[in-house]
């Protein structure tokens, strides 16, 4: 069996047809040739873009000269009502300052400090699933669990907290408005150009930011009073930029909390849901992980024993990278293989296509967690694997995610068995790679007999 993959569009389509397909799903709007091409050029009356699969081009954009390829506002514009001026959207000196303040909270030693909250969220997920056995859509379950991790590690509150629950529910409503599919996604223009957001997009974003402001202001008061818990929010809010000595204001922190929730919750939920589906497809791997899971406990050191779970989660991120495409903009004319890209051209890096590239990976569409121990797997991991981006703009929570994912797989597989149903999920991409009509699995107690 081959894990599900969206259909590709015909080689040649009209611009109108392409825009219609793009609005339905970013992945199936692309031609099949991108799984083999080193680069592809797309021309429209509004913009010119270059999708780069050549590892050397990817390295140039992300690692060698990232300042020459800042983030494009084509995708970011749709997220600004929610994310404001967060680290996910900024460029240049503003972005560098934000990372200098944020990065220390996610250093290796801090992972040990957050592990207890992460483990507690995992145990809570096990109890919720025990009360919800049978045939279910796993995506809402992984979304609930990932949101719980964010609130416990960021603000030391569980998802059951009234404000946390309200943020989670409003965020789900915000996703349904498809915020990135606004005018700026198709027609680039100056910042003052109207974006024509749906009313629901603006309203849900405002609701979420109001709730986050309440949490952030409360934490600022606790810091002032000396009663704040030692969690990620406190660490970030009390860290001064080492170059300027200035800390985040409450308003700036609201922007950052919004992206922590979006990136840390939505991407983890996507990756976990697909990982459970893959394990249901390959029950022998499920049994291997269940046996390995006996070694994990509330001690952070036990996570190092989850080698198979880590390889499976890494493979899920390869096949279903939560962020399927990243868009950069050329600050000056650029030679892109045999093409001359003009200043302002969009440079698209697609983890979705790079991770399944037929000229790079052995068995690119197959599920094979053992690949990471092969020469091909090691080479591709270095040069063609970017689920968290790469270079200076690599996701600051990458290490966090690589603890959270294997841990949740272990805790849930130790207790439950996951089986396929007759519903085959179809991957689609909006904010992240999700399934068109959910990921339905049959869940039962592993040791029911």
Per residue in 163-190, pLDDT (tens digit) is 999 998 888 888 777 655 554 555 555 5
How is residue 160 annotated by DSSP?
A: T
Percent of the chain past pLDDT 70, that is, above it, reads 94
- Range in 32-46, 55-69, 116-130 with the lowest mean pLDDT: 32-46
**Which domains does the chain possess?**
15-445 (1.10.630.10)
Higher pLDDT, 382 or 430: 382
The overall average pLDDT reported for the chain is: 91
- pLDDT at residue 55 greater than cutoff 50: yes
Quick one: tokens of 37? 């091409």
Q: Which residue has the tokens 């990136």?
A: 263
Mean pLDDT of 274-278: 98
> What crossing angle do the helices spanning 73-83 and 250-261 adopt, rounded to 10°?
120
pLDDT band at 449 (very low <50, low <70, confident <90, very high): very low
Residues in binding site for heme: 395
Q: Which helix (H) or strand (E) holds 75?
A: helix 73-83
Average pLDDT over residues 330-345: 93
Q: What is the per-residue pLDDT for 269?
A: 94
As annotated, the binding site includes 395
pLDDT band at 19 (very low <50, low <70, confident <90, very high): confident
pLDDT class of 191 with cuts at 50, 70, 90: low
pTM of the shown model: 0.93
Per-residue confidence (pLDDT) for residue 196, from 0 to 100: 59
pLDDT band at 97 (very low <50, low <70, confident <90, very high): very high
Residues present in the chain in total: 449
- The pLDDT of residue 448: 57
Helix, coil or strand: residue 49: strand
pLDDT value for 107: 82
| Structure tokens given for 221 | 């008061």
- Rounded to 5 degrees, what are φ and ψ at 265? -95, -50
Using pLDDT thresholds of 50, 70 and 90, give the confidence band for residue 418. very high
CA dihedral 72, 265, 436, 385 (to 10 degrees): 60
Of 9 and 351, more confident? 351
Instruction: Give the range among 21-30, 172-181, 219-228 with minimum mean pLDDT.
Output: 172-181
In the prediction, which pLDDT does 202 show? 86
**How far out from the chain centre does Cα 19 lie?**
24
Pairing relationship of beta strands 346-349 and 48-52 according to DSSP bridges:
parallel
Q: Does residue 205 register a pLDDT over 80?
A: yes
Q: Is the pLDDT of residue 257 over 90?
A: yes
Rounded to whole angstroms, the Cα distance separating 2 from 206 reads: 42
- Phi and psi (nearest 5°) for 137? -85, 120
pLDDT at 60: 97
Q: What is the pLDDT of residues 129-160, one digit of tens each?
A: 999 999 999 999 999 999 999 999 999 999 99
User: Based on the number of CB atoms within 10 Å of its own CB, is 128 exposed (0-12), middle (13-18) or buried (19 or more)?
Assistant: middle
* β-bridge pairing 134-137 and 440-445: antiparallel
What is the tally of helices (H) and strands (E) in the chain? 16, 11
Residue 16 pLDDT > 50, yes or no? yes
Nearest to 102 by CA among 226, 249, 215, 256: 256
């Amino acid at each position: 069996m081959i894990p599900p993959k969206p259909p590709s569009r015909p080689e040649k389509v009209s611009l109108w047809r392409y825009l219609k397909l793009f609005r339905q799903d970013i992945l199936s709007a692309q031609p099949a040739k991108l799984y083999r091409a080193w680069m592809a050029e797309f021309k429209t009356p509004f913009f010119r873009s270059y999708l780069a699969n050549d590892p050397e081009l990817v390295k140039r954009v992300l690692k060698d000269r990232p300042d020459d390829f800042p983030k494009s506002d084509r995708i970011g514009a749709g997220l600004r009502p929610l994310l404001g001026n967060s680290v996910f959207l900024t460029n240049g000196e503003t972005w560098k300052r934000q990372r200098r303040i944020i990065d220390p909270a996610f250093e290796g030693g801090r992972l040990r400090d957050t592990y207890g909250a992460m483990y507690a969220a995992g145990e809570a997920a096990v109890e919720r699933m025990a009360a919800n056995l049978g045939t279910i859509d796993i995506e809402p379950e992984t979304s609930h669990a990932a949101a719980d991790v964010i609130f416990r590690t960021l603000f030391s509150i569980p998802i059951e907290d009234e404000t946390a629950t309200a943020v989670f529910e409003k965020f789900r409503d915000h996703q349904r408005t498809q915020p990135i599919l606004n005018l700026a996604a198709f027609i680039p223009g100056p910042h003052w150009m109207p974006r024509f957001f749906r009313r629901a997009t603006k309203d849900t974003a405002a609701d979420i930011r109001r709730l986050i402001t309440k949490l952030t202001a409360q934490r600022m008061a606790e810091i002032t009073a000396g009663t704040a818990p030692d969690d990620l929010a406190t660490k970030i809010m009390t860290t001064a930029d080492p170059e300027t000595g200035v800390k985040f204001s409450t308003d700036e922190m609201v922007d950052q909390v919004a992206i922590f929730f979006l990136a840390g919750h939505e991407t983890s939920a996507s990756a976990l849901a697909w990982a459970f589906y893959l394990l249901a497809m390959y029950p022998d791997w499920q049994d291997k992980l269940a046996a390995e899971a006996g070694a994990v406990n509330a001690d952070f050191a036990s996570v190092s024993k989850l080698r198979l779970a880590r390889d499976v989660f890494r493979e899920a991120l390869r096949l279903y990278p939560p962020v399927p495409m990243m868009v950069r903009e050329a600050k000056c004319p650029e030679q892109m293989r045999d093409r001359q890209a003009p200043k302002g051209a969009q440079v698209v890096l697609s983890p979705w296509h790079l991770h399944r590239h037929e000229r790079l990976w052995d068995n690119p569409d197959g599920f094979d967690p053992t690949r990471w121990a092969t020469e091909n797997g090691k080479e591709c991991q270095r040069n063609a694997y970017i689920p968290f981006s790469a270079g200076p703009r690599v996701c600051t929570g990458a290490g966090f995610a690589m603890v959270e994912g294997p841990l949740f797989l272990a805790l849930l597989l130790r207790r439950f068995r996951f089986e396929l149903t007759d519903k085959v999920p179809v991957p689609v991409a909006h904010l992240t790679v999700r399934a068109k009509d959910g990921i339905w699995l049959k869940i039962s107690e592993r040791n029911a007999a």
